[in-house]
Amino acid sequence: MATNVVELYQFQPDTAPRDILDAVTIRTKADIADAAAALEREVRGFGLRVMLWHDLATMEPAVDAEGLPLNAAILGWDEAELAPFTDIDQAIRSPVLRACRVESQPFWINRRGIRSRWDNPYLETIGLEDFDQRTPLQSAIVVPLHMPFGQIAAAIFTSTDPAQTDLSREFARLGDALARLVQRFMAGYVKVSRNPRYLPTETVLTARQIECLRWAALGKTDYEIGIIMGCSHAGVRYHMSRACVSLGAINRAQSVFRACQLGYLG
C-alpha cells in the first residue's frame, strides 16, 4: 500500500529565470527541438534527467518537427529505459503513471511511498509491492499536467545517479521550479501538436442539457432521467439531442465524452 506522506519542507524553489522560461517556450513546431535541448541542459544542471510524455492515454512519444522522438534523440534515454513506458500494457499498470491520473501537483515516488505537497487519499490506494517490476526507476520526481480536453501529460525526473533512491531534498528545493519549466514547455508542445479534428467544438450547454448528460454518464436511461428530473421521456430526448448538436457529436456516447472533455460533467 502506498503511503502518501506530506513532506514538511518549506517550499522555496530556485525560481526559473525568465530567459530559461523563454528558452523552453514552444510557439511553432520548429521550436520543439531547441526547447527540449534547453530543458535538458537546465535539468541536468540540477543533477537530474527528464523524460516527457505528452499524453498518458496513448503514450506516444513526443517528437520534434522532423518526427524524431525527444526522449531518445534529445533527452538521452535509450530503448531499454523507455521500454516499460512504451509497452502500453506495462505502462497502464505503472504506479508512476497511475499516480498522475489522480494527482495534479508534483510528487516524488520510490518503492516506499508516494509523497506529495498535499494529502491525497487516492495515492494511498496505489500499491507499491511490485514497484521494481513495474518501473525501471529507483526514485522519481513527477510533474503531472492535467490539460484541456482531458489530456494528461507528465514529466518524470530522476537523478543522474541511478542508485539514488531518496529525492526528498531535490523535491523540496526544486519541485516548483521544475513544474514551471515543464508547464511552459508542455503547454506549447501540446498546442502546436494537437489535432483539432478530434476535439469538441467550443460550445455552451444549457443547465438542463448538462443535467441530462450527467445522469447519462452515471448510466441512467432516458426513462430514469425523466423520473429524476421530473420531465417527460420526450423532454429528456429533446435535451439530449440538442446537446448532441451543440457538441458536434454523432450519438449519446460521444456527447457524454465531449461534455466530459470540456469539463461540464466534473
Res 18: pLDDT: 74
Res 16: pLDDT: 56
Domains located in the chain, CATH noted: 18-197 (3.30.450.80), 200-261 (1.10.10.10)
| H or E stretch at 139 | strand 139-146
- Closest by Cα among 53, 112, 120 to 88: 53
Binned at pLDDT 50, 70 and 90, residue 266 comes out as: confident
- Closest by Cα among 33, 40, 38 to 65: 33
Share of the chain above pLDDT 90, in %: 76
Res 134: pLDDT: 80
Res 79: pLDDT: 92
CB atoms closer than 10 angstroms to residue 7? 15
pLDDT one-digit tens code per residue, 163-202: 899 999 999 999 999 999 999 999 999 999 987 776 777 7
pLDDT one-digit tens code per residue, 7-59: 433 434 444 567 899 999 999 999 999 999 999 999 999 999 999 999 999 99
For residues 2 and 6, what is the distance between their CA atoms, to the nearest angstrom? 13
What average pLDDT does this structure show over 73-77?
97
Does residue 162 have a pLDDT over 70? yes
Main-chain phi, psi angles of 257, to 5 degrees:
-60, -45
